[in-house]
A and B are shown apart, each in its own frame.
Chain A
Amino acid sequence: MTGDRQAYDAIVIGGGHNGLVAAAYLGRAGKRVLVLEAGGIVGGGALAAELQHKYTLPAVSHLMDGLSDSVVKDLKLARHGFAYAASGLPTVALDPDGRHLVLTGKAKDDEAFLSARGQDGAKWTGFARKLENSAAWLSPLLNRPPLVAASSAARGKLMARAMFAEASGERAREAFLSLAAKSISDWVHEELEAPLLGGLVAFDATLGSTDAPYDAGTAFRLIYRHALKAKSGVAIPRGGMGALAETLVALIEGQRGEVWAEARASRILMDGATACGVVLDNGIEVSAPVVLSGAAPRETLLRLVGARYLEADLADRLSLGKAGGATAKINLALDGMPGFRGLTPEQVGGRIVIAPSLDEVEESALSARAGALPLDPVMEIVMPTCHDAELAPSGHHIMSILVHQVPYEVEGGWDARREEFVQRAIRTVCRYAPDATDYILAGEVLTPPDLETKYGIRGGDWHQGGLNPFDLLGLRPEPELAGYATPVSGLYLCGAGCHPGGGVTGLPGKFAAETVLEAESRGGRA
């Protein structure tokens, strides 16, 4: 499998889902591709981990709601065995008093459900429609490569065009513009009263970042998330979160491509100012005329390439960017199904959110910012075994918990506080499922720094960069890198650091591969 200076048509650094998608698109075009994954398992943010050889855990993310329909179709993923165990999952917002809310995303049902409980029925419909409209306006911009402007003057014109002329509808555009700069708390306070809805919306609008609900731009994050939603809605892949990566690996290998695990890139080989291959940290050199990197843009350009190959301004801007991750992961193996008070078994299989009110989300965010552990952590819980029994021994379950607003650097250090953190999280779960602790057999916790060391997620930031309007489209990650090509000839970016950003969409990988193929068809390398 290995050998010095093997020649490939392209090398992809990083076996995250975006890197694999890029490789599969290139393979589909007849390219011989090598994927280099530093860790033992491919998948990046979307991968499965084994616990005690019996449980297949969603190691990092535990739901898919944005895997692009175009990627699924282009790569014929279904034909290669990729399927959802469940899709269109309801969202369940847990209430401390047992008056839980279950939202299906279908306007009529939700309105009826909420009205029956005296919880903002009509107001929620109005809110959801506004969100829908704004997302509908943004969605086309996210589902294609960004328009890129090379000079700052051209950038000004482009922004005006992107903001005002490319819109798919005037009303949607106005709805979007009136919301884009707001904080989610402003929006919620204008339109909703039920604390539980406010908590849910604030949770969704800030998940994955260090933003607090009162921060400007968080309304945009909610719209953004919604705009990237796939037709299948919130879904769980059959075979666990690693299923997508496994399907892609099989696909790539079927295309004469190779995927190497435990192959950490130590630097990108340069010929003059052109990328021509990759050196692994074990000294092996592999060469290819095209190198794509799914690693964070800063890692790729400053560490793997080196500042010297960039203009000083760009190197400077890249070095200033800070990674802001604030999500921790707790995976539990259970030998039975805990009883969530007031939830039907069907509802337990949904996306369960514990965020009782917007103010609690705000409080967690502020304490995380100060380096403190949240007292009452806000979280999202998924029990994939409700839909896919094969993930655990018969009768056993997996509980996957995303704890939001967890500081990267905690007061006292993570080694000292890890246990306390897990206890706090489990205590919160037990408030709604009092017998949960009785079933816990084993578990693992991944703090933001753990996510970085174990799965290469820089700074614990799942999205490889901010998700506000000025970090997206033709400005992500930097104007001169937004078109997936870099100033280093032959080197492309294909990770979540590029448009349209984080989440398991596959779109950055797809657009990067398309950029490579297009540059080739033009007869040169961008």
Chain B
Amino acid sequence: MSGDLPFRRHLRMTPLHSEVAAESRTNDWVERNGFTIAGHLDTPETEVFARYHRATLADISPRFRYRIAGREAMDCLNRLVTSDISTLEEGHFGPVAFCDENGQLVGEGELARIGATEYRLFTEEEVLSWLRRNSTGFQVHAEDVSAESAGIELAGPLAEAVLEEAGFDPVRLLQAGHAQTRDLMGMPVAVLRHVGDVFEFWPEEDDAVPLWRHLMQAGREAGLQAIGERTRNLVRIDRGCPRMGADYLGALSAVSGDHVRTPYEMPGETDVDFGKPVFNGRAALRRMAVQSAARRIVALAVDDARDLTFAIVCKGEHQVGVCTSIAFMPETGQYLAIATVEAAACASGGLTVETEIRRELAVWREKLPARIRPLPAKR
């Protein structure tokens, strides 16, 4: 049979695919938002070591980027998100969350103010239809500009050194929380700097490969290592950041109400500003704000380095939660997880996880103690 079947999936390649593939020693690929992207490029230990002690480069092109522009872009976005973005200055960006009318999260991401009436929204999941529905009644236009650019993430304690070597001083001197377009090697590149030495570059599609090569070249001294999605995922779990689609579902895509989350169930503080008279979910969130959430998303650690799997979180004999993202941290020899746990069970400790432990062909069950990790500051 020839031709495209309607249910056939097409995995696309990012503009950086050939560069990334050249770095791969594992041929380990995963799918992300319809793109083929590296799982690991080297051994996990090598990648993680580089990420925490040297510097790393990753292809983050599959993230969604939306351009929201128009005379009333700010009003429109302020109705969309829970926080007050009227104070977001040009050239800055910050985390945003947006809810449906029931106060359930529809999406999360980062919002950058590009100009007086122009914004970029970065999200892990597709939200264009929601943005469009939110544009009704405002002089604003929302479009998906993901295909126009490619994404490169430079991270690690030596990231600044790599930038210096690359001759990108203006980028190196950027402060955390700033988003600016810089001229790098004659190419216009949008750059975002996060807390903790993480830089995002968003060159135009054709400029991505030269920029990647230049950075790889410049980072040789510093031990710059190309890494894949699995290591980035570990870093995310280590930071205690839940991801939509993995640790909870978006309100527009979830079938069961059990799998959506409100801002009050998220770790850390999601900014909900009731000073704004109108925003999506305001009435519902107002009702929730006075009562404490029944469950919470938390970061867990299991101090054990054996080959094991787990998902169920218990307290005594009873199941009180589920781990939704799990990764082994070679640096500390422990398992890290993001879990949804009953709020009452979080308070006093005594949590365990039901594990299956393997040694060669033998498999047995054990309950191992798990502890809730305090979270580092949000990036």
Contacts and interface: CB of A to CB of B under 8 A. Distances in A.
Given A272-B277, A311-B278, 10 more contacts: A151-B287, A273-B277, A308-B72, A308-B76, A311-B279, A311-B280, A311-B283, A312-B79, A312-B80, A312-B101
A304 interface: no
Nearest to B136: A307
For A272, A308, A309, the residue with the greatest tally of chain B CB atoms inside 10 Å of its CB is: A308
A338 B79 CA distance: 63
Contacts of B100: 313
Nearest to A274: B277
B347 to A, nearest CB: 25
A274 B100 CA distance: 22
5 contacts: A306-B137, A311-B279, A311-B280, A313-B101, A319-B136
A390 interface: no
A309 B78 CA distance: 11
A312 B287 contact: no
A315 interface: yes
Interface in B106-155: 130, 133-134, 136-138
Interface string A11-47: 0000000000000000000000000000000000000
Nearest to B281: A311
Interface centre among A152, A273, A311, A319 (most CB of B within 10 A): A311
A487 B283 contact: yes
A313 B284 CA distance: 12
A480 B102 CA distance: 11
Contact of B137 (A272, A274, A308): A308
A151 B136 contact: no
A310 interface: yes
B374 to A, nearest CB: 33
Contacts of B80: 312
A314 B102 CA distance: 11
Interface string A268-312: 000011100000000000000000000000000010001111111
Nearest to A316: B133
A313 B80 CA distance: 11
A191 B72 CA distance: 61
Interface string A305-336: 01111111111100100000000000000000
Contacts of A308: 72, 75-76, 79, 137-138, 278
B282 interface: yes
Contacts of A302: 137
A314 B101 contact: yes
* Most chain B CB neighbours (cut-off 10 Å) among A307, A310, A312: A312
Contact of B133 (A150, A309, A312, A480): A312
B278 A310 contact: yes
Contacts of A309: 278
B280 A312 contact: yes
Contact of A315 (B72, B136, B281): B136
B152 to A, nearest CB: 34
Question: Top 3 nearest A-B pairs by Cβ distance?
Answer: A307-B137, A273-B277, A313-B101
Interface in A28-77: none
Given A273-B277, A308-B278, A311-B278, A316 B284 contact: no
Interface in B281-295: 281-284, 287
A487 B279 CA distance: 11
Interface of B: 72, 75-76, 79-80, 100-102, 130, 133-134, 136-138, 277-284, 287
Interface of A: 150-152, 272-274, 302, 306-316, 319, 480, 487
Nearest to A480: B283
Contacts of B278: 273, 308-311, 487
A115 B24 CA distance: 92
Contacts of A480: 101, 283
Nearest to A315: B136
B235 to A, nearest CB: 33
Contacts of B134: 312
Nearest to A488: B278
Nearest to B102: A152
A128 to B, nearest CB: 43
B102 A316 contact: no
A151 B102 CA distance: 7
A32 to B, nearest CB: 27
Interface centre among A310, A313, A315, A316 (most CB of B within 10 A): A313
Contacts of B79: 308, 311-312
Contacts of B102: 151-152
Nearest to A310: B278
Nearest to B75: A308
A151 B282 CA distance: 12
B322 to A, nearest CB: 22
Most A C-beta atoms less than 10 A away, residue of B102, B137, B281, B283: B137
Nearest to A307: B137
Nearest to A309: B278
B84 to A, nearest CB: 14
A285 to B, nearest CB: 21
A273 B138 CA distance: 15
Contacts of A152: 102
Contacts of A307: 136-138
Contacts of B130: 312
Contacts of B284: 150-151
Nearest to A489: B277
A309 B102 CA distance: 17
A311 B136 contact: no
A306 B76 CA distance: 12
Nearest to B138: A308
A157 to B, nearest CB: 15
Contacts of B137: 302, 306-308, 315
A319 B136 CA distance: 10
Nearest to B279: A311
A272 B102 CA distance: 23
Contacts of A313: 100-101, 280
A309 B101 CA distance: 13
A316 B280 contact: no
A448 B143 CA distance: 39
A307 B76 CA distance: 10
Contacts of A306: 137
Contacts of A315: 136-137
Contacts of A151: 102, 284, 287
A301 to B, nearest CB: 10
Given A152-B102, A272-B277, A316-B136, A311 B282 contact: yes
A266 to B, nearest CB: 16
A41 to B, nearest CB: 32
A403 to B, nearest CB: 36
B288 to A, nearest CB: 9
B66 to A, nearest CB: 15
A108 to B, nearest CB: 53
Contacts of A274: 277
Contacts of B281: 311
Contacts of A319: 136
Contacts of B72: 308
A36 to B, nearest CB: 23
B353 to A, nearest CB: 31
A70 B205 CA distance: 71
Nearest to A308: B137
Contacts of B279: 311
Contacts of A487: 278, 283
Nearest to A319: B136
A488 to B, nearest CB: 9
A298 to B, nearest CB: 13
Nearest to B78: A308
B101 A311 contact: yes
Nearest to B288: A151
Listed residue (A151, A306, A314) with the most chain B CB atoms within 10 angstroms of its CB = A151
A315 B136 CA distance: 8
A315 B283 CA distance: 15
